[in-house]
Chains A and B, each alone.
Chain A
Amino acid sequence: MNKRIIVILKLFIFIFIFICLTFYAHTIQAGGLTPLKNEISPDITLPIPDNAVEKNYLGLEGKDSFAVSRIKADLVILEIFSMYCPYCQREAPIVNELYRIINQRKDLKDKIKIIGVGAGNNRFEVDVFRNQYNIQFPLFSDESFFVHKALGEVRTPYFIVIKMNADGSNRIIYSKVGSIHDANEFLDAILKESGLKQDG
């Protein structure tokens, strides 16, 4: 009788450990969920660029790493791409156009910043993508899928727009997989959503 109870007890412990492990393993493998509009952005940390122009563009100082929320801007547009993704390749000229339009607008160039994160791409691969499409805004390598996982392992390209508030808090105003289609229309939409003041 005692033996039977011990066996049953062992079985329960075994099942309990199995369930715990399943949940834990699932959590660490899948990473976070994709953040939604109106939510607070997950903490995304990237290495501070070596390039002085990029550092200046993002308003960063120092070496090591920075949180995306530290970028000196009212709106941060972050694209998750991969140099191996044909859709991202086709998207590159549209995002370049968006960067060009923003940079030409004196009322927006210091307020909206764009960055790209290459999911699973090492620095060499990110450089290939940068050179192929002559990309002027900062691109970062995410070789170990760290950022990609924090954003719920999204398909590429994926765009997230984060509005930085004066009190240091932030709010996501756009979070979508797929093309932004038209740079002007996309800019109008996020400006409207953010309530960012524009001159003229």
Chain B
Amino acid sequence: MLLKKRLFSKTLLLLVAVLFSAPVAYSASEQFKGKIYNPGALKPVDSRTTLKIGSKAPDFSLPSVSGGKVSLGQYLGKKNIVISFVPAAWTPVCSDQWPGYNIAKSFFDNNNAILIGITVDNIPTLFAWTREMGELWFPVLSDFWPHGAVAERYGILRSDGVSERALFVIDKKGIIRYIDVHDINKRPNLETLVKELENLNK
């Protein structure tokens, strides 16, 4: 009887928790109306990177949506680099993170930094998706084939084949100075990233 009571109260407690757990809040842009696939709330982080602050950033060369290939190496010695991995095109949080960065160029310029966006989607998908965002000032690269190889090297490939929502700040020498493997369901705080960029020059 006691066991039954406990079971009853536990079930009730679980119900309350499920009902009141707030949905992932985001304001949807009219721009993407009806085009965004909502995967629901996902496991916040589903990988474990071995990279640490002070590690050398793994080099890569990936095809860019605007044509040609972009490598990490081409910026070394010239620019600080921010890599923004986002999980997938046409999903809720990703579809507004980069448009936000698109009007924050001055923070990157002021700190002599370049932004590189990477997803595991293929070029045609990225082309259609980024066109909805307007003219992006930073390169968007496809880590589609070998699938997620760069995300894997950075230790942020999730078990379902998409990358984490992760930010890596890399200095001109190619050393990682900041890592944020963010909760995939939430947008990283822009102000935090800007402060990390400013820290590079201190």
Partner of B30 from A17, A124, A131, A157 at Cβ < 8 Å: A157
Stretch at the interface among A42-50, A87-95, A97-105: A87-95
Asked whether B29 lies within 8 Å of A88 as measured between CB atoms, the reply is yes
Q: Does A10 interact with chain B (Cβ within 8 Å)? A: yes
Q: Which residues of B contact A84 (CB under 8 A)?
A: 27, 29, 96-97, 99-100, 187
Residue in A closest to B194 when the chains form the complex, CB atoms: A124
Asked whether A86 lies within 8 Å of B29 as measured between CB atoms, the reply is yes
Partner of A87 from B19, B31, B102, B191 at Cβ < 8 Å: B31
Asked whether B23 lies within 8 Å of A120 as measured between CB atoms, the reply is no
Q: In the docked arrangement, what's the CA distance between A122 and B16, Å?
A: 30
Asked whether B27 lies within 8 Å of A86 as measured between CB atoms, the reply is no
Residue in A closest to B133 when the chains form the complex, CB atoms: A86
Residue in B closest to A89 when the chains form the complex, CB atoms: B103
Q: In the docked arrangement, what's the CA distance between A55 and B51, Å?
A: 49
Chain A, interface SS category: helix
Q: Does A125 interact with chain B (Cβ within 8 Å)? A: yes
21 contacts between A and B (CB under 8 A): A10-B8, A17-B12, A21-B15, A21-B16, A82-B27, A82-B96, A84-B96, A85-B31, A85-B96, A86-B29, A86-B102, A86-B132, A87-B30, A87-B31, A89-B102, A89-B134, A124-B191, A128-B103, A155-B29, A156-B28, A156-B30
Contacts A82-B27, A128-B104, A178-B30 known; 15 new A-B pairs at CB < 8 A = A28-B20, A29-B23, A82-B96, A84-B97, A86-B99, A86-B132, A86-B133, A89-B134, A90-B134, A122-B191, A129-B103, A145-B25, A155-B30, A156-B29, A177-B30
Interface residue ranges, A against B (CB under 8 Å):
10, 14, 17-18, 21-22, 25, 28-29, 80, 82-90, 119-120, 122, 124-125, 128-129, 131-132, 145, 148, 153, 155-157, 177-179
Instruction: List the 6 closest A-B pairs by CB distance, nearest first.
Output: A84-B96, A85-B29, A119-B27, A87-B31, A25-B19, A84-B100
Interface residue ranges, B against A (CB under 8 Å):
8, 12, 15-16, 19-20, 22-23, 25-31, 33, 96-97, 99-100, 102-104, 106, 132-134, 187, 189-191, 194
